[in-house]
């Protein structure tokens, strides 16, 4: 197989004007059509864009990413003070790079092989071709000495390609999902190339200290790198100068200000009340909010809930579970199968326990705007986060941020990154169905004083660590690592 290398003879004149460039698989905008049929772009709700937009505006910033439409090539455009550079993906690349290598190889491998990862050479070829295209797009717009921040597992080869194309750049990488242990990463046929790809960055950020430690162990084991105080030193291919990259945990967070603002808005509060009324004002509302993904432990949660109804610990007259499952990666086989399984479970549980007045599970296979999400958080007495593996889980942090009166109980899987920070949550091992059932019952019956104590403690943590602080910390550490000349050791 011929590995494509970047063309490093690019003339200097090809450099662009942007001194801060973010690159992610998706651009942070969604296509919208107004009432007159005119198409435009709307900034997507995520925390990442909220955190980075002010940095973009303060500097001369550009965002490079795919605009979401297969087979379509678009010119760069501006949106709300951000310069956006769309990277095209053909239909075939969406299948091989995005659905294939990113979401059927890396995603399951990095999430503890909950689903079996598939390894196909054609997928890998597409992955590095597409990564090279993203790298070239960044190299063409970044100014001399610019800072580039590469996001997530879809783009792990971009740091190295960029380093080769543009040695003048300061390069950061952040992995939003877990990084597996060497025992699991060992399965990856292209493990060395991926590690070398990441090591093109001056700073590599992870969610948890354990992800960071896994990565460092992988570089030692599979590249023979020397690791000292979270710095990885590697001989370059020529055997000459050594390069050093730093790896650190930076647990991501949410736009706390925005969530709190919505949580006190009268229309959002009224909507929360309406939701309770629509459900017949049950004593307890439980809530699950996830992308419909097998890492989220939705079936474990439903199993526990069904058993609680079956053994009478919960009654359909008193409790209602709202499960929002937003559609995701629907053309990938494992996601199709999961949907069938969840649809079937919900159907069986509702068929068995529904009455004319009450529904056991209100199952919503939709995405909702953030206003509706906050209304749901306000309506819910108990939030259920039962992921089998999750890089962070921002839903848990959003629930905490929205509970401005410090009421409500959070059941949180110990396999989420958020469990490191939300120590006062009711933590569970979602594989232990009996333990999960006991914890759900405990959450439903938690005294006002205990839930208040736990929620206040979690709120202190979340309010003090918003996503703006996360991006400031990362970028400050990146600037420091690059300024120390860590990138090029003699």
The contact set with ligand G6P (CB under 6 A) reads 26, 152, 176-177, 328-329
* Complex with ligand G6P: residue 328 or 477, whichever CB lies closer: 328
Q: With helix as H, strand as E and coil as C, how does the chain read?
A: CCCCCCCCCCCHHHCCCEEEEEEEEECCEEEEECCCCCEEEEECCCHHHHHHHHHHHHCCEEEEEECCCCCCCCCCEEECCEEEEECCCCHHHHHHHHHHHHHHHHHHHHCCCCCCCCCCHHHHHHHHHHHHHHHHHHHHHEEEEEEEEEECHHHCCHHHHHHHHCCCCEEEEECCCCCCCHHHHCCCCCHHHHHHHHCCCCEEEECCHHHHHHHHHHHHHHHCCEEECCEEEEECCCCCCEEEEEEEECCCCCCHHHHHHHHCCHHHHHHHHHHHHHCCCCCEEEEEEEECCHHHCHHHHHHHHHHHHHCCCCCCCCEEEEEEEECCCCCCHHHHHHHHHHHHHHHHHHHHHCCCCCCCEEEECCCCCHHHHHHHHHHCCEEEECCCCECCCHHHHHHHHHCCCCCCEEEEECCECHHHHCCCCEEECCCCHHHHHHHHHHHHCCCHHHHHHHHHHHHHHHHHCCHHHHHHHHHHHHHHHHHCCCCCEC
What angle, rounded to 10 degrees, do the helices at 370-379 and 256-263 form? Answer: 60
> Which tokens hold the place of 468?
């703006």
The closest residue (CB) to ligand G6P is 176
- Shortest Å distance, C-beta 417 to ligand G6P: 11
- Shortest Å distance, C-beta 176 to ligand G6P: 4
Pairing of strands 61-66, 77-79: unpaired
* Complex with ligand G6P: residue 184 or 436, whichever CB lies closer: 184
* Complex with ligand G6P: residue 177 or 378, whichever CB lies closer: 177
- Shortest Å distance, C-beta 356 to ligand G6P: 38
- Shortest Å distance, C-beta 8 to ligand G6P: 29
- Shortest Å distance, C-beta 328 to ligand G6P: 6
Q: Could you tell me which of 317, 381, 384, 411 has the C-alpha nearest to residue 355?
A: 317
- Shortest Å distance, C-beta 152 to ligand G6P: 4
- Shortest Å distance, C-beta 295 to ligand G6P: 9
- Shortest Å distance, C-beta 45 to ligand G6P: 12
Q: Phi/psi of residue 484, each to 5°?
A: -70, -5
- Shortest Å distance, C-beta 165 to ligand G6P: 23
* Complex with ligand G6P: residue 177 or 383, whichever CB lies closer: 177
* Complex with ligand G6P: residue 328 or 350, whichever CB lies closer: 328
* Complex with ligand G6P: residue 163 or 329, whichever CB lies closer: 329
- Shortest Å distance, C-beta 186 to ligand G6P: 23
* Complex with ligand G6P: residue 98 or 377, whichever CB lies closer: 98
* Contact yes or no for 167/10 (Cβ under 8 A): no
* Complex with ligand G6P: residue 156 or 244, whichever CB lies closer: 156
- Shortest Å distance, C-beta 313 to ligand G6P: 33
In whole angstroms, give the CA distance from residue 153 to residue 303.
31
* Complex with ligand G6P: residue 175 or 451, whichever CB lies closer: 175
* Complex with ligand G6P: residue 26 or 365, whichever CB lies closer: 26
* Complex with ligand G6P: residue 210 or 328, whichever CB lies closer: 328
């Amino acid at each position: 197989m011929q590995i494509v290398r970047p063309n490093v003879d690019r003339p200097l004149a090809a450099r662009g004007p942007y001194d801060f460039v973010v690159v992610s698989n998706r651009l942070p905008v969604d296509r919208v059509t107004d009432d007159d049929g005119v198409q435009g772009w709307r900034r997507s709700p995520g925390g990442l864009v909220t955190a980075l937009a002010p940095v973009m505006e303060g500097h001369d910033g550009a965002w490079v990413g795919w605009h979401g439409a297969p087979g379509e090539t678009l010119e760069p455009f501006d949106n709300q003070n951000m310069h956006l550079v769309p990277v095209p993906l053909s239909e075939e690349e969406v299948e091989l790079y995005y659905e294939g290598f990113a979401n059927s190889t890396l995603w399951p491998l990095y999430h503890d092989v909950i689903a079996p990862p598939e390894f196909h050479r054609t997928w890998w070829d597409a992955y590095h071709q597409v990564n090279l295209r993203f790298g070239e797009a960044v190299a063409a717009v970044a100014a001399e000495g610019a800072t580039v921040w590469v996001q997530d597992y879809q783009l792990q080869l971009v740091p190295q390609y960029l380093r080769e194309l543009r040695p003048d750049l300061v390069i950061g990488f952040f992995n939003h999902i877990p990084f597996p242990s060497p025992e699991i990463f060992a399965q990856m046929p292209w493990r060395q190339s991926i590690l070398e790809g990441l090591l093109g960055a001056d700073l590599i950020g992870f969610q948890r200290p354990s992800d960071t430690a896994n990565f460092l162990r992988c570089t030692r084991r599979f590249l023979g790198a020397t690791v000292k105080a979270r710095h990885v030193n590697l001989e370059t291919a020529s055997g000459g100068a050594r390069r050093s990259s730093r790896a650190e945990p930076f647990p991501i967070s949410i736009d706390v200000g925005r969530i709190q603002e919505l949580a006190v808005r009268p229309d959002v509060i009224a909507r929360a009340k309406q939701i309770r009324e629509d459900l017949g004002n049950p004593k307890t509302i439980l809530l699950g909010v996830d992308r419909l993904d097998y890492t989220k432990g939705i079936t474990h949660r439903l199993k526990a809930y069904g058993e609680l109804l079956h053994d009478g610990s919960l009654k359909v007259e008193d409790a209602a579970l709202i499960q929002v499952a937003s559609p995701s990666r629907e053309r990938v086989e494992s996601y199709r199968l999961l949907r069938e399984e969840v649809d079937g479970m919900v159907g069986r549980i509702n068929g068995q326990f529904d009455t004319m007045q009450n529904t056991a599970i209100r199952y919503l296979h939709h995405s909702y705007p953030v206003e509706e999400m906050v209304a749901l958080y306000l309506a819910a007495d108990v939030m259920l986060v039962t992921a089998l593996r999750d890089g962070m889980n921002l839903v848990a942090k959003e629930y905490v941020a929205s509970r401005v009166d410090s009421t409500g109980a959070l059941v949180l899987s110990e396999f989420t990154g958020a469990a490191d920070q939300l120590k006062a949550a009711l933590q569970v091992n979602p594989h232990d169905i009996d333990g999960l059932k006991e914890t759900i019952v405990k959450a439903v019956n938690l005294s006002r004083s205990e839930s208040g104590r736990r929620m206040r403690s979690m709120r202190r943590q979340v309010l003090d660590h918003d996503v703006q602080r996360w991006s400031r910390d990362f970028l400050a550490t990146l600037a420091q690592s690059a300024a120390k000349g860590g990138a090029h050791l003699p």
